[in-house]
Each structure stands twice: as C-alpha cells, then as structure tokens.
C-alpha cells in the first residue's frame, strides 16, 4: 500500500508539473503567436493572396463608407483567383475611430498581406498609409483627395484626383476659357478644408504675367457681404473663386445680384449637391463648378458588375461613384499583382536585376525576386512598381493612369452654368 501511495503521489506531482508547463507554454504562444507563425509557416506555404479592406464598418461613418465596402466586395466575388491562388478580401473595421482604427491595423494588418484598400475619411486613410508603408505594401484610397495621403508616401496610391487639381482646373477655365485677368478668392478665415485647392489656384493664376489674384478672408459668423462685394466691384474683379459652403455661397451671390454685380463664379465639388446645382440652374449667373462625372459603364464588365451588385444588394440598388471607384481599386491591384508576377516568372534573376544598380536597390529587389519565386506571390515592392506602370486602365469609374506617379491621372469635369 505504501508503494502504491508513493506512486500516486508521483503521478499527482507529475500531473501538476504538466499543467504548469502547459499553462506557461500556452501563455508564451499567445504572446508570441506571430513569431511562431513566421517561424513555422514560411511564405513557401502561402496559397492565398490577401488584400485588406480597411473601412469604418461600424460607428458614425459606417453609412458613408458602405459604398466602398460594396464595390470591393463585388470585385472580389467576380475576381477571386489569379496566378493559381485564391484572393481573399479581409475586412478590418476602424469603428470610425482613430484609436480603434490604429489598434485594428496593428493587430490585423501584417506582412502576410499583399495590399490594402481604404479608407473613408482622410485621417483614417493616413493611418492605413502609415501602416502600409511600414509593411512595404501598396495601399489604394478610394475617396480621399488629400494631398498628404500620397506626399512622401511611396506605397500610397489614389484612385481619383487630388483636391488641388480642382484649383488648377478652375484657374485654367477662368483664364483660358473666359479670358479673365482679375481674380479674387473668397474664403472663411478659419476654414482650411480647401487650402490646397486655393493654393494651387492662386499659384497657377499668378504664373501669368497679366493677372491679379486678390484674397479676401471672411469671419465664420459673417452674413453681410455688401462691403466686400462693393470692393470687388470697385477693383473690377472679373472672376470670384467662392470657397464658401453652400448656404454662405447662396447668400453671397444673392447680395451681389442686389448690387447688380455679375462676375464669373468658380466653385469646387463642395457645390456639387442636388440643392446647389438646382439653385445654380436658375440663379441667373455665370458659374463654373467642379462636378463628379462618374456614371455607370454599360460595357460587358460593367454589366457583370451591375448584375452581381443587384444580386447582393437588391434589384433596386444603384451603385454610386464610391462603389465604382472601390471596384476599380481592387481590380487595379489585381492587375498589378498579375503584372508583377509575370515580371518575375518570365525572366532569370540576372535579367531581372539588370535595371538596378544601387546597393540598396540590389538588396531590396534581389530579395523581392527570391521571395516571389518561392511563394508564387509578388512582394509588396513589386506590386507597388507594377501599379506605377499602369496607364490607360479603363475602369468602371473612368480611365485611370499612373505613369510613374502614385496619383491617379484622370479627367476632371467642370460644369458651366450660364447667366440667363
């Protein structure tokens, strides 16, 4: 009996030790799971290409971001296998919050991903750009037009024009289209939402030797613009870039008309709302406004998209500009991944490396070539380079080109409203 009791004690002690070791082991695995995964699951075993969709899927911006979710979802359903591998669209929810978004990116977006799309909202987009740069994978913004998104960020791409492009378009319409020489910019002094657009507008206007561009700052609570308008009239200002929100712009125009002042008005896409457009159609003024001109493309690809879209979201659902641009963002990445893959698989390493000469490039692209050969999935730096080379891509939202830059080159529509 004593021997059995002793044996039982040893068994119990052994079980306690096993439980302790298991607890410590599990804790260690939980803390360092990513390191464990990297060590035991190499890129050679990857069969899936992962593309992240970072959007506010919940919270205050969820409704505004929903079209971007819809467009990318439809794209993934239509194109979910390339170069012999499955393409997985992984949703990452920022919850419409900067801190929640940053935490979600840090936890979910890893080196296993090939690229990322997002986000609605400039600040959230910049969070994604920062993380993607760190991982050296390309990110495509669907709706952000903030120049900070692409400035000094090599892996960040837009799918639409930047805000400052509006300034260039409006200045050229005013100068070349209407032959105006004397301009004025009217803005609210505390509003910086159109700063880059205004800066580009002024820069282009003043690049001509025969032009003048005045600047007028209004207080945020100002409602009486009569003295400002009288000064514009005295100075013979022929075109007014009215960088004001809709209600203030309407009031300014109404007061100018009461003084019989009818300059050419210039407005950004801030005025591209149903109520403002309806007002301009009957206001009896000359006006040039940047408007969205993204319409559904009735090509075979467009018809496939629409059929899938309606199957998912209802027979009466109609895709808007954001959904079309999100679809294009996904398809641009697909095209870039395919091109990058061919660029590696069709040549020897020596042939591939011929175009690189600096020590840093030789190291980066040598490693990128080797990783792509082993995994069958192009590295982020190669996908980024392939995006840079895309020109004249016919997307559902229009023609898109990069041509060596990370800002999409595409047409911008300026709509004219005539007096009378």
- What residue ranges define each of the domains in the chain, with the CATH number in brackets? 164-293 (3.40.50.2300)
Residue 119, preceding peptide bond in cis (omega within 30° of 0): yes
156 burial (CB, 10 Å; 0-12 / 13-18 / 19+) is buried
Q: What is the model's pTM?
A: 0.76
Say which residue the tokens 């994978």 belong to: 137
Q: Residue 299 half-sphere exposure, CB side, CA atoms within 13 Å?
A: 8
Q: What is the pLDDT of residue 190?
A: 83
SS3 232: helix
* Phi and psi based region of residue 118 (left: phi greater than 0; alpha: psi -120 to 50; beta: remaining): left
Low-confidence ranges of the chain (pLDDT < 50): 1-3, 6-43, 45
Q: What is the pLDDT of residue 28?
A: 34
Q: What is the pLDDT of residue 44?
A: 54
Q: How open is the CA angle 87-91-96, to the nearest 5 degrees?
A: 155
User: CB count, 10 Å around CB of 284?
Assistant: 13
Q: What is the pLDDT of residue 345?
A: 96
Q: What is the pLDDT of residue 5?
A: 52
**Beta carbons within 8 Å of 311's beta carbon, 6+ residues apart:** none
Contact call for residues 101 and 54 (beta carbons, < 8 A):
yes
Q: Which two tokens stand for residue 225?
A: 């613009």
Using CA atoms, how far apart are residues 371 and 385, in angstroms rounded to an integer?
A: 16
Using CA atoms, how far apart are residues 171 and 291, in angstroms rounded to an integer?
A: 15
User: CB count, 10 Å around CB of 267?
Assistant: 26
Using CA atoms, how far apart are residues 335 and 152, in angstroms rounded to an integer?
A: 24
Q: What is the pLDDT of residue 30?
A: 36
Give kind and range of the element (H or E) at residue 77. Answer: helix 62-78
């Amino acid at each position: 009996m004593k021997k059995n009791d002793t044996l039982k004690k040893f068994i119990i002690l052994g079980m306690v030790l096993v439980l302790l070791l298991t607890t410590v082991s599990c804790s260690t695995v939980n803390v360092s799971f990513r390191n464990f995964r990297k060590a035991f699951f190499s890129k050679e075993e990857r069969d899936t290409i992962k593309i992240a969709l970072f959007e506010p899927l919940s919270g205050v911006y969820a409704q505004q971001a929903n079209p971007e979710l819809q467009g990318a979802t439809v794209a993934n359903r239509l194109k979910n296998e390339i170069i012999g591998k499955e393409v997985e669209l992984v949703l990452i929810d920022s919850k419409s919050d900067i801190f929640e978004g940053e935490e979600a990116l840090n936890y979910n977006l890893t080196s296993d991903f090939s690229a990322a799309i997002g986000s609605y909202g400039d600040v959230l987009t910049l969070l994604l750009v920062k993380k993607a740069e760190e991982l050296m994978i390309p990110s495509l913004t669907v709706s952000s037009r903030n120049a900070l998104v692409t400035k000094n960020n090599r892996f960040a791409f837009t799918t639409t024009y930047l805000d400052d492009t509006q300034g260039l378009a409006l200045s050229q319409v005013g100068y070349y289209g209407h032959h105006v020489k004397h301009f004025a910019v009217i803005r609210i002094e505390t509003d910086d939402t159109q700063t880059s657009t205004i800066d580009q507008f002024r820069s282009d206007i003043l690049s001509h030797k025969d032009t003048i561009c005045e600047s007028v700052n209004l207080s945020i609570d100002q409602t009486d613009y009569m003295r400002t308008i009288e000064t514009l009239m005295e100075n013979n200002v022929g075109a007014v870039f009215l960088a004001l929100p809709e209600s203030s712009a309407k009031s300014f125009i109404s007061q100018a008309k009461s003084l019989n002042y009818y300059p050419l008005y210039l407005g950004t896409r801030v005025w591209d709302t149903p109520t403002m457009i309806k007002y301009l159609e009957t206001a009896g003024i000359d006006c040039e406004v940047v408007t969205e001109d993204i319409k559904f493309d009735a090509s075979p690809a467009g018809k496939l998209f629409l059929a899938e879209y309606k199957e998912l979201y209802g027979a009466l659902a109609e895709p808007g500009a954001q959904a079309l641009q999100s679809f294009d963002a996904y398809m641009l990445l697909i095209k870039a991944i395919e091109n990058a893959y061919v660029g590696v698989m069709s040549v020897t390493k020596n042939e591939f490396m011929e175009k690189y000469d600096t020590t840093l490039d030789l190291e980066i692209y040598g490693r990128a070539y080797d990783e792509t050969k082993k995994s069958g999935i192009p590295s982020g730096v190669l996908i980024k380079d392939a995006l840079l080379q895309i020109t004249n891509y016919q997307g559902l939202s229009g023609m898109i080109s990069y041509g060596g830059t990370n800002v999409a080159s595409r047409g911008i529509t300026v709509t004219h409203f005539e007096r009378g």
